[in-house]
Amino acid sequence: MMKKMVFPLAALATVALILSGCSSATPKASSSSGGLTTVNLTLPAPASLESVVYDCVPNMEGFFKKEGLKVNVETAEGSVLALQSLETGTSDVVVVGTSPLMAGIGAGSTAKAFASVVTGSYAYPAVLPNSPIKTFLDLQGKTVGVPSLQSGSIPFTRGLVALAGGNPKLVEFLPTGFGAPALAALKSGQIDALGLWDTAYEVIKGLGQPLRFIQNDQSKKLGFQVVYAAKSAWIDKNPKVALGMSRAMNKAYVFAITNPEAALKDCWDEYPNLVPTGVDPVKAKADGLAAVKARLASSGPVDGVYGTSTADQVQTFYSLQVAAGTVKPGITVGQLWTDKFVKDANKFDVAAVKKAAAAKK
């Protein structure tokens, strides 16, 4: 059974200190256990259906194990604290939004993305249907609800405002969590908009509340959104592990897109607490499938290649964050992303994975 734990919320000053490169921790090689290489993976939020491709399916369908890996999953309260766990040596690999990853690298972290988990646009502000907010520019002077003040939603939302030519400093943020608490804050007027993402919005829609999303043509084309990342030294020391995680994730996407129902079951089997209680089973399954399909819609191949991002996508999103003032200028694509595992991570029998998925009940 994989260990599940939550890192306690740390002071922002401590996070800044660690991300500035002041930690003395050095990346360790992954350990071995029962013939499998143990990898400590940290997610940036409590386990949810958004974990379908990078945790649930590769674990429950044995894709990690087939790559010789035993993946221990932990969670942190936001991408910033997930990155902190790399610096302290608590984690080998993290799932992280690229906005805070870029900020961390700008502050001195040697973390780098080696597989693209969410390859397309998946996060965007949302408002109530009758809200006067229509565009990113309308968010200026407004308050946006985010999961926590360490959430990658903050630099991401600021970047969207900058993309539209606005002043990202004019947007305020308030921690409202997920689901019912976030919706209550929106309906009460405590916040003007939500700064969440695909699967989180499906939860709110499942509560019976329709939402209107704020997007434009440019934001819909953004890539390089969420990644597997590790310290550069760890990647260099553990190339087979990084490749194995990447390939397992790619297989998981193919499996899940072929049989979303089986993918949902994998998540519910790994995390029984995700199964809704006191809800009609038919509705619970329908809501769960909607969330899984929402995440799969933003996790597909780029130019026919699984788990990748193009240099242009990386540079475009980085330039957006620089314009928003959330990331320092002068960082190269090579500091942010390596594609050296992409080719081999796509070397697997796609037809066999699809066949296995189709046969799964």
**Tens digit of pLDDT at every position of the chain (361 positions):** 343 433 333 333 333 433 444 343 444 445 666 789 999 999 988 888 989 999 999 999 999 999 999 999 999 988 889 999 999 999 999 999 998 899 999 999 999 999 999 999 888 999 999 999 999 999 999 999 999 988 878 988 998 998 899 999 999 999 999 999 999 999 999 999 999 998 899 889 989 999 999 999 888 888 999 999 999 999 999 999 999 999 999 999 999 999 999 999 999 999 999 999 998 999 999 999 999 999 999 999 999 999 999 999 999 999 988 988 888 999 999 999 999 999 999 999 999 999 999 999 8
For residue 37 the two structure tokens come to 């290489």
Alpha helices in the chain (DSSP H): 12-17, 57-60, 63-66, 79-88, 98-106, 153-163, 179-187, 198-206, 217-220, 232-237, 239-258, 260-270, 281-297, 311-323, 333-336, 342-345, 350-359
CA distance 22 to 137: 37
pTM comes to 0.83
Domains identified in the chain and CATH numbers: 12-120+223-359 (3.40.190.10), 123-220 (3.40.190.10)
> Coil, strand or helix: which one is 258?
helix
Provide the 8-state DSSP code for 6: B
**Position 314, amino acid:** V
End-to-end CA, the chain: 23
- Give whole-number Cα distances, 346 to 68, 160, 202, 304, 339, in Å: 17, 32, 30, 10, 12
